[in-house]
Structure 1
Amino acid sequence: MTEVRLEPMTEDEYKPWRAEAEAHYARSAVASGQSEQDAARAAADTYARLLPGEFDTPGNHFWYAYDGDRRVGFLWIKVDHSTAFVHNVAVEAGLRRRGYGRAIMLAAERWCHDNGLTRMSLHVFAHNTGARALYEQLGFAETGRNMAKAL
């Protein structure tokens, strides 16, 4: 099984990551049925709300994941009391379907355990069937469901 190590992002690394993460969120919202304009606005509003202090927003942790010297992905979680909420996790585009997503999530679980956290939660877009299957395999259970209808 693949293992990765999590290395905290620096503030300089955070800046380009933040721009790409927001753009990725907007693309996922478009894939879920929002217009490009609405998705871009929603992504900007969401990131502004979640990270009002940007890199220094309390409770937020940002890592790059490495396999040896190769960067394979990233992870962003927010800790609130005893729960870690996975806001964003991804594997580099050319390295997907090789076990790195699972490895990053397992590294996150170890970090949570080591830091006394007792619960992990996350949101996944419904169209992302690969991620949904992975999270279910890792023991995540659905706790709610958003639904929409295009008019």
Structure 2
Amino acid sequence: MAEVRLEPMTEDEYKPWRAEAEAHYAQSVAASGQSAEAAARNAADTYAQLLPEEFTTPGHHFWYAYDGERRVGFLWVKVTRETAFVYNVAVEEDVRRQGYGRAIMLAAEHWCHANALTRIGLHVFAHNAGARALYEQLGFTETGRNMAKDL
């Protein structure tokens, strides 16, 4: 099984990551049924609300994941009380399906334990069957469900 170490992002690393992460989020929103334009606005609004102070927004933590010297992904969590909420986790495209998603999530769990956090949560888009399967394998259970109907 792949293993990774989490290295905190620097502010300089955060800036390009932020732009790419917002664009990817817009794509996921669009895949859930919004127009590309509405999804882009939604993503911009969401990131502005979640990160009003960008890199220094209190409670938010940003890491790159490494296997040796090779960057294989990233992780963004927000800590509230005893809970870490995963806002974004991804594996670099050229190393997907090699166990790095699992490894990043296990590293997140290890970080949570080391920081006395007792719960980890996340949102996963319904269309992302691979991620849903991974999270279920890791012991995550469904705690809610959003539904929509196009009119």
Alignment TM-score, normalising by the size of structure 1: 0.99
Name the CA distance, whole Å, in 2 between partners of 1:84 and 1:41: 26
Question: What do you get for the CA RMSD once the two structures are aligned?
Answer: 0.4
Counterparts of 1:50-65 in structure 2 under 5 Å? 50-65=50-65
C-alpha distance in 2 between matches for 1:39 and 1:2: 34
1:33-52 CA deviation, whole Å, 9 max, x = no partner? 10011100000000000000
Report the alpha carbon displacement of residue 150 of structure 1 after superposing the two structures with TM.
1.4
Give SS of 2:44's match. helix
* Cross-structure match for 1:29: 29
Q: Give the share of equivalent positions with the same residue, in percent.
A: 80
Instruction: Map 1:125-140; keep pairs closer than 5 Å.
Output: 125-140=125-140
**Counterpart of 1:109?**
109
1:52-93 alpha-carbon deviations (Å, 9 max, x no partner): 000000000000000000000000000000000000000001
Q: CA deviation at 1:100?
A: 0.1
AA of the residue aligned to 1:130: G
SS of residue in 2 equivalent to 1:64: strand
Spell out structure 1 runs of 4+ moving beyond 2 A: none
Q: Tell me the amino acid that sits aligned with residue 135 of structure 1.
A: Y
Aligned to 1:97: 97
Between the aligned partners of 2:149 and 2:60, the Cα distance in structure 1 is 33
The count of corresponding residues between Structure 1 and Structure 2 is 151
Which residue in 1 is equivalent to 2:144? 144
One-letter amino acid matched to 1:64: Y
**Secondary structure, aligned partner of 1:61:** strand
Deviation per residue, 1:106-149 (Å, 9 max, x gap): 00000000000000000000000000000000000000000011
C-alpha distance in 1, partners of 2:120/2:135?
11
In 2, distance between residues paired with 1:128 and 1:17?
Answer: 21
Gaps of 5+ in 1: none
State yes or no: 1:4 paired with 2:4: yes
Structure 2 residue ranges without an equivalent (≥5)? none
